[in-house]
Amino acid sequence: MDRFIINGGRPLQGTVSISGAKNAALPIMAATLLAPGTHRLNNVPALRDIDTMAQMLEHLGCKVSHNGALEVCANHLNFDEAPYDLVKTMRASVLVMGPLVARLRHARISLPGGCAIGARPINLHLKAMEALGADIHLKDGYAEVIASRLKGADIHFDVVTVTGTANAMMAAAVADGTTTITNAAREPEIIDLALFLSSMGADIEGAGSDRIVIRGVPQLKPAEHTVVADRIEAGTFMIAAAITGGDIVLENVPTEFLQTAMARLEESGVRFESTSRGLRVTGPEALASVDVTTAPHPGFATDLQAQFTALMAIAEGTSVITETIFENRFMHIPELARMGADISVDGGTAVVKGMGKLTGAPVMATDLRASASLVLAGLAAEGTTEIDRIYHIDRGYERIEERLRALGADIERVSVE
Ligand code: EPZ
């Protein structure tokens, strides 16, 4: 099991290029199941979660290669099951549900079980499939989804669900008739999925709004697509500059998708400047405390909450961080406390008393974004921070220690037996 050793206190300097978005690539990879032929996806990041989805597609009968571009040949599907051992590795595996039901008219999807950050059920996904005409049978920890034919429907999500919206879009793309999804997720990754589906021949309007209309077509065809840049990775690097008092340039930043996060960072004293090389991000001498409440896009992204909490731990003043999306997304806080952070948690609210500084300590990563939060804290802390279980971070950040080292960070990965 690998760990990071970080010697903190070094302001980041230099330029970093933002990778393709994991949370766009995953549903788009699943969407290749909708059409036989060879699909070509560019700007797909090299991450563990991408490898897991590639394994899932191969399990179902696809041929997948990832050398530069990611190619998926989905000519023959010889299986309709998303098995527990893959789904428990990565919850986003449930994204194959919509495409399998659309292509094969049946799917057997393992229920994901619990996850570190919350229960994360898939009831809304199943409700959407039922609305489209599927019968659902829950048996032995699996959801059997059977639809002799898919018909267009009105689908309303009681709770905004990103992958639930994606599954509904993919199944509706080839349903008979028109589907309207209301209270749809507005995330940029949904827009990117809609762009890919449209290039396959789907008829979709309204992606990016809370009302998406999909007119079913008889058949889709393979397509090529370049995956949108990763707004969460970009936000993480912005906070890295802020927390180290650094001065960096980010290339390929989707700033249009980061307006809320950038506004909160500006309130804390971070400065942004568009330059010919990219977006320049400068951390202030002293950080002001800022309150944040997470919300579905275009609100403050829950996937940046842990990173922002680490930033507020070294600010001057008190900030209130409210997590509204997941019920257990504060697991980074006890670890930050080991580094001297003063944060009290009450349900979904964390009150952060900025200490102006942190001190290096041994800590443990618990989930993807919590591990990013601990890396950022280590970069800012005085002394040495050791982060255990960093396989979590490899799920969502490509070569993170190399790219941080290129910005002047003192970070190395060591293998521990
Ligand atoms: C997506 O997860 C992202 N993952 C998550 O990013 C992100 O945190 C989340 O959206 C919220 O933005 C991918 O896109 C692969 P949801 P998803 O369905 O779709 C509840 C990361 O760090 N819910 O929008 O699984 C759910 O429990 C990951 O990259 C139901 O109750 O999240 C949660 O409280 C972590 N029933 C809320 O809705 C359902 O059927 C939002 O979940 C579905 C969801």
Q: How many Cβ atoms sit within 10 Å of the Cβ of residue 284? A: 14
pLDDT tens track for 158-185: 999 999 999 999 999 999 999 999 999 9
Residues 6 or more apart from 324 whose CB is under 8 A from it?
293, 294, 295, 302, 348
Q: What pLDDT score does 50 carry?
A: 98
Which domains, from first to last, does the chain contain?
2-19+229-415 (3.65.10.10), 22-216 (3.65.10.10)
Q: Which residues pair with 226 in a beta bridge?
A: 42
Q: Which residues pair with 410 in a beta bridge?
A: 7
Q: What pLDDT score does 118 carry?
A: 86
Report whether residue 120 contacts ligand 1, using a CB cutoff of 6 Å: yes
Q: Distance between CA 53 and CA 64 in Å, rounded? A: 10
Residues 6 or more apart from 51 whose CB is under 8 A from it?
none
Tell the residue nearest (CA) to atom 13 of ligand 1.
23
Range in 79-88, 219-228, 289-298 the model is least confident about: 79-88
Closest of 28, 144, 192 to residue 95, by C-alpha: 28
Q: What pLDDT score does 223 carry?
A: 98
Measure CA 331 to chain center.
17
Tell the residue nearest (CA) to atom 8 of ligand 1.
303
Q: What percent of the chain has pLDDT over 70?
A: 100
Q: Distance between CA 14 and CA 406 in Å, rounded? A: 7
Q: Which residue is catalytic, options 111, 115, 136, 331? A: 115
Q: What pLDDT score does 236 carry?
A: 98
Mutate to test the pocket of ligand 1, among 325, 371, 398 (most ligand atoms within 8 A of CB): 325
Q: What pLDDT score does 117 carry?
A: 87
Distance 117 CA to ligand 1 centre (A): 10
| CB burial of residue 256 (10 Å; 0-12, 13-18, 19+) | exposed
pLDDT tens track for 340-380: 999 999 999 999 999 899 999 999 999 999 999 999 999 99
Range in 22-36, 82-96, 104-118, 128-142 the model is least confident about: 104-118
Read off the pTM. Answer: 0.98
Q: Which atom of ligand 1 is nearest to the CA of 127?
A: 40
Q: How many Cβ atoms sit within 10 Å of the Cβ of residue 15? A: 13
Residues 6 or more apart from 272 whose CB is under 8 A from it?
262, 265, 266, 279, 280, 281, 282
The single residue listed with the structure tokens 């077509």 is 217
Mean of the pLDDT values across residues 254-273?
A: 98
pLDDT of residue 132 exceeding 90, the answer is: yes
Mean of the pLDDT values across residues 323-350?
A: 97
pLDDT of residue 417 exceeding 90, the answer is: no
Tell the residue nearest (CA) to atom 14 of ligand 1.
23
Mean of the pLDDT values across residues 374-398?
A: 97
Report whether residue 122 contacts ligand 1, using a CB cutoff of 6 Å: yes
Residue 62 appears among annotated catalytic residues: no
Band (pLDDT 50/70/90 cuts) for residue 1 is: confident
Mean of the pLDDT values across residues 276-294?
A: 97
Q: Which residues pair with 215 in a beta bridge?
A: 178, 203
Report whether residue 93 contacts ligand 1, using a CB cutoff of 6 Å: no
Q: Which atom of ligand 1 is nearest to the CA of 125?
A: 40
Q: What pLDDT score does 39 carry?
A: 98
Report whether residue 114 contacts ligand 1, using a CB cutoff of 6 Å: no
Q: What pLDDT score does 119 carry?
A: 81
Q: What percent of the chain has pLDDT over 90?
A: 96
Q: What pLDDT score does 116 carry?
A: 81
Q: What pLDDT score does 24 carry?
A: 98
Mean of the pLDDT values across residues 268-286?
A: 97
Q: How many Cβ atoms sit within 10 Å of the Cβ of residue 75? A: 12
Q: In what order do the strands lie in the sheet with 384-388?
A: 362-364, 384-388, 2-7, 410-415
Mean of the pLDDT values across residues 25-36?
A: 98
Mutate to test the pocket of ligand 1, among 126, 130, 163 (most ligand atoms within 8 A of CB): 163
Q: Which atom of ligand 1 is nearest to the CA of 118?
A: 27
Closest of 347, 355, 263, 276 to residue 309, by C-alpha: 355
Q: Distance between CA 202 and CA 195 in Å, rounded? A: 9
Report whether residue 124 contacts ligand 1, using a CB cutoff of 6 Å: yes
First-to-last CA distance in the chain? 6
Kindly report the average pLDDT of the chain as a whole number: 97
Q: How many Cβ atoms sit within 10 Å of the Cβ of residue 411? A: 22
Mutate to test the pocket of ligand 1, among 157, 161, 293 (most ligand atoms within 8 A of CB): 161
